[in-house]
A and B are shown apart, each in its own frame.
Chain A
Amino acid sequence: MKIKQIDFESHQFGDYCELMIVPELIENEQSIYSSSSLSFYKYAKNQIHLSFIREPDILLEQRSIEWLGPTLLITTTALTQNPELVSITLSVISNYITDFFKGRKDPDIKLSILIQESKTKFKKIDYEGDKESLKEIEKIIQQLKD
């Protein structure tokens, strides 16, 4: 299991009040999302409020890993409105992986979560590992809140 944390500043992400799916890249005004984003959105939307930051136009497929998840954004407002948001999100991801890979061994997965720390400061958490260790992300976010 590998977790990498990167601090960054942004003026674009602060106003969202629910879980957001972030494009991996915007190129020529077209939003490029990870190829798992659409199915994950369809699966998760019945369990949690979530939206795309911009409508998806193009998908990015990376075959280096068995499941490349979407990049998710959790703002301070979203966390205030729903303190269980991180725990619910990770649980939805874990259940999705279980359903998606039913019949085969647990896959290696990769995903990123952007957490707002202050008005313009964010932390990007890059996770790579199995679904069992996803809870480590929750511990990191809890430490940030404390």
Chain B
Amino acid sequence: MNKISFEEIHSKFCEIIDTLQTYNNYTISTKLKKEGIENCLSFIKIVKEEKYLAVKEKETNIANQLFHMQCVLNSLLSSLKIWLYIEKSQFKKGWDSLIDAYEYLFIAKKVNQYEGLSNLEIHLNSIEKSIFPKRKIYLSAAFTSSIGNCSICNRSFHECEHIEYNIYCGQLCYRKNISNIKGNHVALVENPKDRRCIVTSYGHKNSIIDSFTLEEIELKNETQEGIFHGHILTFSTLDWD
């Protein structure tokens, strides 16, 4: 099999992100969106294989550029998934997918920043504002844990020289294998670190109200005022490797 050149990958990357952006609206057919997602997944696989080769050869610039592509593609992939979740009325999953899209985009911008990425961020902001209800309050957990290992060198994060959220030769540094997680408290805040942690339903009079649809999802015999259900802690499962 012929080795694909970096220029060919870059050209294909530009072609795919243009196509995915044209699919990134509510009215576009679900079939096209699903095809777009499949194509994107296959291409991400190719990009990552090339990135692993570049990492092995210590070609830092190429590895970083390929990692950038991986993040932009994953951002678009996550934003396309929002529409599919909405179609199935899986609004929390749609919301999480939106936050995933932002997080991939922010990491992509650590390598390169250009107009296309600013436009994607504006598009995500528009989706957030027009599709989802405005959230004034988020949940935020405080917890202790072990230090964990470095995703770059696998040593204890205390012993190595790598810095969290820096990119080293196409790889994102983060702490992994953290354990002994002990909850400390949960707070209600306006600007949390993780916007996936939201109130999903709350009590109003004798009813439980869904925070996405505002529909009554349960009716009880006693008052439900002051009760709420939500997600208090999530751990990233994003594709950084």
In this assembly, does B144 line the interface, its C-beta being within 8 Å of a C-beta of chain A? yes
Which chain A residue has the least Cβ–Cβ distance from B111? A103
In this assembly, does A11 line the interface, its C-beta being within 8 Å of a C-beta of chain B? no
* Bound CA–CA A57/B107 (angstroms): 28
Q: Mark A79-116, 1 if CB is under 8 A from B, else 0.
A: 00000000000000000000110111000100000000
In this assembly, does B176 line the interface, its C-beta being within 8 Å of a C-beta of chain A? no
Contact A103 B110 (CB under 8 A): yes
Contact B191 A66 (CB under 8 A): yes
Contact B164 A58 (CB under 8 A): no
Q: A58-B145, A63-B197 are in contact. Are A39 and B164 (CB under 8 A)?
A: yes
Q: A42-B162, A43-B163, A103-B109 are in contact. Are A65 and B145 (CB under 8 A)?
A: no
* Bound CA–CA A55/B143 (angstroms): 19
Residues of A within 8 A of B161 (CB): 42
Contact B108 A103 (CB under 8 A): yes
In this assembly, does A61 line the interface, its C-beta being within 8 Å of a C-beta of chain B? yes
Contact A60 B163 (CB under 8 A): no
Residues of A within 8 A of B206 (CB): none
Residues of A within 8 A of B79 (CB): none
User: Looking at B107, B108, B141, B158, which has the most chain A CB atoms within 10 Å of its CB?
Assistant: B158
In this assembly, does A141 line the interface, its C-beta being within 8 Å of a C-beta of chain B? no
A63 interface neighbour in B107, B113, B141, Cβ under 8 Å: B141
Residues of B within 8 A of A104 (CB): 106, 109
A27 CB to nearest B CB, Å = 8
* Bound CA–CA A105/B201 (angstroms): 30
Q: A66-B193, A104-B109 are in contact. Are A61 and B142 (CB under 8 A)?
A: yes
* Bound CA–CA A80/B164 (angstroms): 33
User: Looking at A43, A63, A66, A103, which has the most chain B CB atoms within 10 Å of its CB?
Assistant: A63
Which chain B residue has the least Cβ–Cβ distance from A104? B106
Contact B187 A58 (CB under 8 A): no
In this assembly, does B157 line the interface, its C-beta being within 8 Å of a C-beta of chain A? yes
* Bound CA–CA A59/B144 (angstroms): 5
In this assembly, does A118 line the interface, its C-beta being within 8 Å of a C-beta of chain B? no
In this assembly, does A3 line the interface, its C-beta being within 8 Å of a C-beta of chain B? no
* Bound CA–CA A66/B194 (angstroms): 8
Q: Mark B187-202, 1 if CB is under 8 A from A, else 0.
A: 1010111100100000
A56 CB to nearest B CB, Å = 6
Which chain B residue has the least Cβ–Cβ distance from A45? B161
Contact B147 A64 (CB under 8 A): no
Which chain B residue has the least Cβ–Cβ distance from A108? B191
In this assembly, does A38 line the interface, its C-beta being within 8 Å of a C-beta of chain B? yes
Which chain B residue has the least Cβ–Cβ distance from A56? B158
Which chain A residue has the least Cβ–Cβ distance from B180? A58
In this assembly, does A50 line the interface, its C-beta being within 8 Å of a C-beta of chain B? no
A32 CB to nearest B CB, Å = 6
Show 29 residue pairs from A and B whose CB-CB distance is below 8 angstroms, ordered by the A residue. A32-B144, A39-B164, A42-B163, A43-B163, A55-B158, A56-B147, A58-B144, A58-B145, A58-B146, A58-B147, A59-B145, A59-B178, A61-B144, A61-B145, A63-B142, A64-B142, A64-B189, A64-B193, A65-B189, A65-B191, A65-B192, A99-B166, A102-B109, A102-B110, A103-B106, A103-B108, A103-B109, A103-B113, A108-B191
Seen from chain B, the residues whose Cβ lies within 8 Å of a Cβ on chain A are: 105-110, 113, 140-147, 157-158, 161-166, 178, 180, 184, 187, 189, 191-194, 197, 233
Known A63-B142, A64-B142; further 7 A-B contacts with Cβ < 8 A: A63-B141, A64-B189, A64-B192, A100-B164, A102-B109, A103-B105, A103-B108
